[in-house]
Every structure is written in structure tokens, then in C-alpha cells.
């Protein structure tokens, strides 16, 4: 264990001991400042470089805790509500596939150690991290529900109807009825629960950000499965959006069963 007798240890041993301590544990450790001070008071350049590296990682982690705590606090700022749900959708704009929404209720009164860190607008989170976070959110959420509207329904009833339908269905299907629903960008029509819309809510609200991530992971994985059946359109990479490769395939092979006919009128 690192101690004030650090100068008697070789750099290799110091690094070995530091590597045994995760940044999370260091953040929680009341003696973390002492450990870094001991490193910084060493005259060896490699030890000082290690001290600076550990300090940067600790600062980064601390800033992330503050950022996410502010998102949880945002959700609590609307009044004395026991259960707050966040709802968001993915897939409003693609040429193919469904639109998907998710509603999530988080425990907003957790201690710092139980915050779900790195939640954000799903588009700002790397794919591998989204997959990891989606599992964590599902495990820690008090309740969540995913709702889907198919490309056929989008063609028949319009994207605005389908967007509201999945918002409404995901909120009404939660196993816990929320006292407040925070929706990203739009108010939910015909909802019988208090509802507030939040512009860019997936960057401000913990519950909306969590919903955004779960919805995107679900839809992206669905589109990857479709890619196995409809291999021409590069769905595994574009998840249905109108990339140049996707549009070239449409012009060459025509549409497939999951394309939104109402979105293709100016392309085909």
C-alpha cells in the first residue's frame, strides 16, 4: 500500500501499487489527496509524471460525477415527485425500420457511488459504451419500457402519429406509474400524467438520457439483425439512415420490406 515512505520504493513498485487502486476507489478514498501529495513530493521525474496522470484521471472522474449529479438534480427540480420518468425516441428520420421509444424511471435519490455515470445524448456516447450503459440502466432502473412503431404504421399513419404513439405507449406501460413525465423535445399528446417537455433533454435529464441510450441500443441491434436479411443496404452501419451507400443500393436494388415508402417518394 502506498504510504509516506514512498521514496524508499522503486518506481516499478509504486506503479504496481497505484495500479491496484481504481480511480473509483481513489475517488472514494479519504486519503486520496495524501497519496497524490506523496507522489508529487517525490523528486523522480517518472514518479511526478505518474502523480500528474493520476491527478488528471481523478479530476476527470470527479467532473463526471458532478455532471451526472446535476442531471439527477435537474430531474428533481420540477417539484416533489416520487417517481419521474424520462422518455425519448430514436429513428424518427431514417428511410427504413421502426421508430422506437423508451421510458425510464431512475432512483433520483441515490448516493454518488450509485449514480449511472457517462449517461448522455446517446449519439454522443460510443457504441461499446452505449451497450454497457444500456445493461446497467436496465439493472438499476426502477422501471423501463420500450415501445415500437413499424415502418408500415409510419407509412399508414405518419411519423408524427407514430412518434407520439411510442412515447405514449412506453410511458403508460411502465410497471410504476410516474408522477411526472419528462419528454425530449415534445409534449406527449393525450397523456394522463403530468408532462414537461425539455429541449435537448437527453443532455440535461438523467432519465431522458437513460431512455435515449436504451432506445438506441435496442433499435441499432434490431437494424443489425435486419442487415442479415437485407444485405444490400448497409443497415449494420447506417441503421436505416439515408447514407450515400444506402441510397445507391435503393436505386440499384429497389426498396425492401422495412423501407418507409412515404420517405422514399423523392428518391425513387
pLDDT at residue 8, as a whole number:
76
Q: Is 114 annotated as a binding residue?
A: no
23 vs 27: CA distance, rounded Å: 6
139 vs 125: CA distance, rounded Å: 19
Whether pTM exceeds 0.75:
yes
pLDDT at residue 112, as a whole number:
85
Q: Is 88 annotated as a binding residue?
A: yes
* Per-residue model confidence as pLDDT tens digits over 48-61: 999 899 899 999 99
pLDDT at residue 157, as a whole number:
98
- Residue 76's CB is within 10 A of a number of other CB atoms, namely 13
pLDDT at residue 24, as a whole number:
81
Q: How far apart are the first and last CA of the chain?
A: 68
Give the ranges where 97-205 is alpha helix by DSSP (H): 127-140, 151-157, 159-172, 201-204
**Mean pLDDT, each 10-residue run in order, the chain (268 residues):** 68 84 78 81 89 90 95 96 97 98 97 93 96 98 98 98 98 98 96 97 97 98 98 97 96 96 88
* Per-residue model confidence as pLDDT tens digits over 72-89: 999 999 999 999 999 999
Residues forming a β-bridge with 83: none
Q: Is 121 annotated as a binding residue?
A: no
252 vs 241: CA distance, rounded Å: 17
pLDDT at residue 4, as a whole number:
59
pLDDT at residue 121, as a whole number:
94
Amino acid at each position: 500500500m502506498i504510504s509516506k515512505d514512498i521514496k524508499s520504493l522503486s518506481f516499478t513498485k509504486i506503479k504496481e501499487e497505484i495500479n491496484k487502486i481504481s480511480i473509483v476507489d481513489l475517488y472514494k478514498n479519504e486519503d486520496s489527496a495524501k497519496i497524490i501529495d506523496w507522489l508529487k513530493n517525490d523528486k523522480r521525474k517518472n514518479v511526478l509524471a505518474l502523480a500528474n496522470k493520476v491527478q488528471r484521471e481523478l479530476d476527470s472522474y470527479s467532473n463526471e460525477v458532478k455532471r451526472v449529479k446535476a442531471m439527477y438534480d435537474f430531474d428533481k427540480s420540477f417539484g416533489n415527485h416520487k417517481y419521474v420518468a424520462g422518455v425519448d425516441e430514436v429513428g424518427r428520420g431514417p428511410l427504413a425500420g421502426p421508430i422506437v421509444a423508451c421510458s425510464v424511471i431512475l432512483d433520483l435519490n441515490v448516493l454518488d457511488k450509485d449514480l449511472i455515470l457517462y449517461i448522455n445524448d446517446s449519439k454522443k456516447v460510443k457504441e461499446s459504451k452505449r451497450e454497457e450503459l444500456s445493461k446497467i440502466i436496465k439493472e438499476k432502473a426502477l422501471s423501463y419500457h420500450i415501445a415500437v412503431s413499424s415502418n408500415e404504421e409510419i407509412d399508414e399513419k405518419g411519423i408524427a402519429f407514430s412518434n407520439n404513439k411510442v412515447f405514449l405507449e412506453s410511458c403508460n406501460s411502465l410497471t410504476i406509474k410516474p408522477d411526472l413525465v419528462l419528454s425530449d423535445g415534445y409534449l406527449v399528446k393525450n397523456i394522463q400524467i403530468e408532462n414537461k417537455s425539455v429541449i435537448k433533454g437527453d443532455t440535461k435529464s438523467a432519465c431522458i438520457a437513460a431512455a435515449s441510450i436504451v432506445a438506441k441500443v435496442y433499435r441499432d441491434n434490431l437494424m443489425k439483425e435486419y442487415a442479415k436479411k437485407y444485405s444490400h443496404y448497409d443497415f449494420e452501419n447506417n441503421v436505416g439512415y439515408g447514407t450515400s451507400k444506402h441510397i445507391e443500393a435503393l436505386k440499384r436494388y429497389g426498396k425492401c420490406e422495412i423501407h418507409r415508402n412515404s420517405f422514399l417518394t423523392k428518391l425513387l
